């Protein structure tokens, strides 16, 4: 899960994923949305690809990036397990009612 958390630990990359929700985009179309050079964009896309969050397909001169959310499953279940397995160590907030 390390690569996954690393990939998501950047606002630019998270925004890229948000953009891709509406549909596939080429590297250039993605770059147009950010105030950043194309090599930087390329590097971010590479990290997302390494994490498995996007797939890339060359189409002629362009490279089309597609969102791939399957890798999120592991992270999602890890996070959700926290919402279920909470342990209550603190004292109860009130005394139980006396009969």
Partner DNA sequence: TAGATAATTAGACAAATGTCTAAATAACAG
Partner DNA sequence: CTGTTATTTAGACATTTGTCTAATTATCTA
Q: How far apart are CA 71 and CA 25, in angstroms?
A: 20
Out of its own copies, DNA, none, what residue 67 binds, judged by CB under 5 to 8 A for its kind, is its own copies
The radius of gyration computed from the CA coordinates of the chain, to the nearest angstrom, equals 20
Q: Helix (H, G, I), strand (E, B), or coil: what is residue 52?
A: coil
Closest to its own copies by CB, 61 vs 85, is 85
Contact between 97 and its own copies per CB under 8 A: no
Residue closest to 12 by CA, chosen among 32, 34, 28, 29: 34
Q: Which residues bind its own copies (CB under 8 A)?
A: 1-2, 5-6, 8-9, 11, 14, 17, 21-24, 66-67, 69, 72, 75-76, 79-80, 82-83, 85-87, 89-90
């Amino acid at each position: 899960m390390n690569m996954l958390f690393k990939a998501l630990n950047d606002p630019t990359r998270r925004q890229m994923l948000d953009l891709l929700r509406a549909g596939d985009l080429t590297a250039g179309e993605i770059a147009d949305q950010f105030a950043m050079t194309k090599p930087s964009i390329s590097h971010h896309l590479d990290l997302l690809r390494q994490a498995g969050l996007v797939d890339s397909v060359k189409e002629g001169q362009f490279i089309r990036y597609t969102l791939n959310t399957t890798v999120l499953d592991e992270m999602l279940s890890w996070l959700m397990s926290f919402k279920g397995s909470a342990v209550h160590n603190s004292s109860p907030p009130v005394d139980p009612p006396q009969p």
